[in-house]
Amino acid sequence: MFVIDKLNVLTKDTSKEILKDFSLTIKPGEIHAIMGPNGVGKSTLSKVIMHHPDYIITNGTITYNNKILNDLTTDEIARSGVYLLMQDPSIIDGVSNSEALRTALKERGSNDTNLYTFISKMKKEIDSLSLPKDTMHRGINKGLSGGERKKNEVLGLKLLEPSFIILDELDSGLDVDSLKIVAKNINDYLKVNKDTSVLIITHYSRVLDLIKPDFVHQMEDGKIIKTGDITLAKQIEKTGYNGVNEVESSENHE
């Protein structure tokens, strides 16, 4: 169970308040989506979960499987099973993809770190994601296109086998066919790992047509202001955020 309880977050440099009493509970196996206008704090939320140093939690808790994550380091959070697929994955030269992933697996005490087993699994996943064959030996995301970098993050996900996945704008940079490939890979993973929970941050319902959410949340002013199902996502797409809020307020006055 993943629980965020009344979380308040400021930026470290400018003390700008981004999350305000933000609360969200995700049970094992559930898929939740968050939608919200640009700059509302969606990526900040995902970074704060991973303990990004640019942000300060002034109040509230993030709890995963009864363990408070607030003061854990990013690698401790990752080792507890949380995986963030970033909106804009960074390039890290000098460490190859295979070295980084195998080391991370070893750290987790996985049985899959035998070189032969690991390499065969990595090759298979690289193929199923239609990534360039030499991805394994390249520096992390080095020389990969924007879409390939997103796929490379999914490669990490499939090898590290997290139990809680955050997808920050999965579709950005992916062409229609690549998005389908990536979604199939994630759905295949979820079919086998039924207790894995997912938090999808997205602007468009096309991602949610491929990876189907149990709940859709609308975020505004640093918190969730409305929760529904896929129809909320379709409504937002049709009318925009102001449109959804206007429909809401006119319904309240009827």
Ligand X SMILES: Nc1ncnc2c1ncn2[C@@H]1O[C@H](COP(=O)(O)OP(=O)(O)OP(=O)(O)O)[C@@H](O)[C@H]1O
CA–CA separation, 46 vs 75, rounded Å?
15
Q: How far is the CB of 220 from Mg ion (least distance, A)?
A: 14
Q: How far is the CB of 18 from ligand X (least distance, A)?
A: 5
Question: DSSP string covering the chain, please?
Answer: -EEEEEEEEEETTT--EEEEEEEEEE-TT-EEEEE--TTSSHHHHHHHHTT-TTEEEEEEEEEETTEE-TTS-HHHHHHTTEEEE-SSPPPEEEEEHHHHHHHHHHHTT-STTSHHHHHHHHHHHHHHTT--GGGGGSEETTT--HHHHHHHHHHHHHHH--SEEEEESTTTT--HHHHHHHHHHHHHHHHH-TT-EEEEE-S-HHHHHHS--SEEEEEETTEEEEEE-HHHHHHHHHHHHHHHHHHHHHHHH-
Choose between 44 and 197: whose C-beta lies nearer to ligand X.
Answer: 44
Pick from ligand X, Mg ion, none: which does 218 bind, CB < 5 to 8 A by kind?
none
Which range binds ligand X by CB under 6 A, 7-15, 73-81, 123-131, 157-165? 7-15
Choose between 17 and 112: whose C-beta lies nearer to ligand X.
Answer: 17
Is 131 in contact with 148 (CB distance < 8 Å)? yes
CA–CA separation, 62 vs 23, rounded Å?
9
Among 4, 7, 35, 40, binds ligand X (CB under 6 A): 40
Is 209 in contact with 8 (CB distance < 8 Å)? no
Among 31, 43, 167, 208, binds Mg ion (CB under 5 A): 43
Choose between 43 and 141: whose C-beta lies nearer to Mg ion.
Answer: 43
Which range binds ligand X by CB under 6 A, 31-39, 131-139, 157-165, 174-182? 31-39
| 13 scored as a contact of ligand X (CB under 6 A) | yes
Which range binds ligand X by CB under 6 A, 8-16, 74-82, 142-150, 204-212? 8-16
Pick from ligand X, Mg ion, none: which does 53 bind, CB < 5 to 8 A by kind?
none
| 254 scored as a contact of ligand X (CB under 6 A) | no
Choose between 19 and 179: whose C-beta lies nearer to ligand X.
Answer: 19
Among 4, 24, 44, 181, binds ligand X (CB under 6 A): 44
Q: Which residues of 199-208 are buried (b: 16+ CB within 10 A; e: fewer)?
A: bbbbbebebb
Choose between 148 and 168: whose C-beta lies nearer to ligand X.
Answer: 168
| 19 scored as a contact of ligand X (CB under 6 A) | no
Among 39, 53, 94, 109, binds ligand X (CB under 6 A): 39
Binding site for ligand X (CB under 6 A): 11, 13-14, 16, 18, 36, 38-44, 54, 87
Given the rule CB under 5 A, which residues bind Mg ion? 42-43, 87
